[in-house]
């Protein structure tokens, strides 16, 4: 397969801490000589996609999620519709994206957020960068929505957790990294309302995005990620390692 000679697009799903597997996939891509020219991401996939598009080293990508308080929950919101005030992350993001601009990135990046007022998904690929990134990753009810272009926006995964649409017509080969997985559950794991809500939400996301995932030329879905909580920051390194190992095995088979 002459993948290296084709233009490559990379789609990165949402999935919280499990999204660290995306960084592992990118590490494996680099080792196999694969570089995407167009990147699309939702939620944590948008954040990883932005770091990749800014040509940040793998170590810096991991440090971003370890250093910024995304998974530390110490920025509690007051008088905002969310437990954590998302606005307070802006200064932390400025350290990694000082130019705060899509145009300053080295790759063509597309992120998706949800316009809560209009009830529609919004693809963003130009202008200011940090607010769209925060909006794409603002998962209700944990994170408060972000005001962007005069309207409140929240997590892109609400309406589109696998945003392949912007890149399909722009590249010859699409690699998808999906960390929102669904597997069989035992009855004991559905014994309270929180577990039930999480399961139902996961099934809805899975069903809505399944066709798009299957339409990728190559899809990487590390099943071992299911043992990592989507908001458990202790799983950062483990998710990264799982993503890397799964991608290496996949590339060895097809390249």
Q: Give the integer Cα–Cα distance in Å for 30 and 126.
A: 26
* CB atoms inside a 10 Å sphere around CB 204: 12
DSSP letter for each residue of 82-114: SSB-GGGGHHHHHTT-TT--GGGSSSEEEEEEE
Q: Is 164 labeled as catalytic in the residue annotation?
A: no
CB atoms within 10 A of CB 122: 20
What are the residues facing 175 on neighbouring strands?
A: 10, 218
Residue 193: how many other CB atoms lie within 10 Å: 8
Q: Which of 13, 155, 164, 180 is catalytic?
A: 155
Q: What is the CA radius of gyration of the chain?
A: 17
Helix H or strand E segment including 193: helix 193-214
Beta strand 8-12 with 108-115 is unpaired
Catalytic residue among 43, 144, 177, 180: 43
Angle at 121 between CA 117 and CA 123, to 5 degrees: 125
Q: Is 53 a catalytic residue?
A: no
Residues labelled as active-site residues:
43, 155
């Amino acid at each position: 397969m002459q993948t290296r000679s084709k233009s490559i697009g990379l789609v990165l799903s949402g999935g919280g801490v499990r999204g660290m597997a995306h960084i592992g996939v990118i590490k494996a891509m680099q080792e196999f000589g694969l570089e995407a020219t167009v990147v699309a991401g939702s939620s944590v996939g948008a954040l990883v996609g932005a770091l990749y598009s800014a040509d940040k080293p793998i170590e810096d990508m991991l440090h971003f999620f370890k250093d910024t308080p995304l998974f530390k929950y110490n920025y509690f919101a007051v008088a905002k519709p969310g437990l954590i005030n998302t606005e307070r992350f802006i200064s932390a993001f400025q350290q990694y994206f000082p130019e705060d601009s899509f145009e300053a990135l080295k790759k063509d990046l597309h992120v998706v957020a949800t316009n809560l007022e209009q009830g529609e998904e919004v693809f963003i690929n130009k202008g200011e960068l940090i607010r769209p990134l925060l909006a794409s990753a603002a998962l209700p009810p944990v994170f408060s929505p972000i005001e962007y272009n005069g309207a409140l926006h929240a997590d892109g995964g609400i309406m589109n957790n696998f945003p392949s649409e912007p890149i399909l017509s722009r590249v010859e080969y699409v690699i998808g990294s999906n960390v929102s997985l669904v597997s069989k559950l035992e009855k004991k794991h559905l014994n309270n309302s929180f577990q039930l809500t999480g399961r139902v939400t996961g099934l809805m996301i899975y069903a809505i995005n399944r066709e798009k995932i299957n339409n990728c030329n190559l899809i990487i879905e590390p099943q071992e990620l299911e043992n990592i909580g989507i908001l458990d920051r202790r799983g950062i390194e483990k998710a990264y390692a799982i993503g890397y190992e799964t991608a290496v095995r996949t590339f060895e088979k097809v390249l």
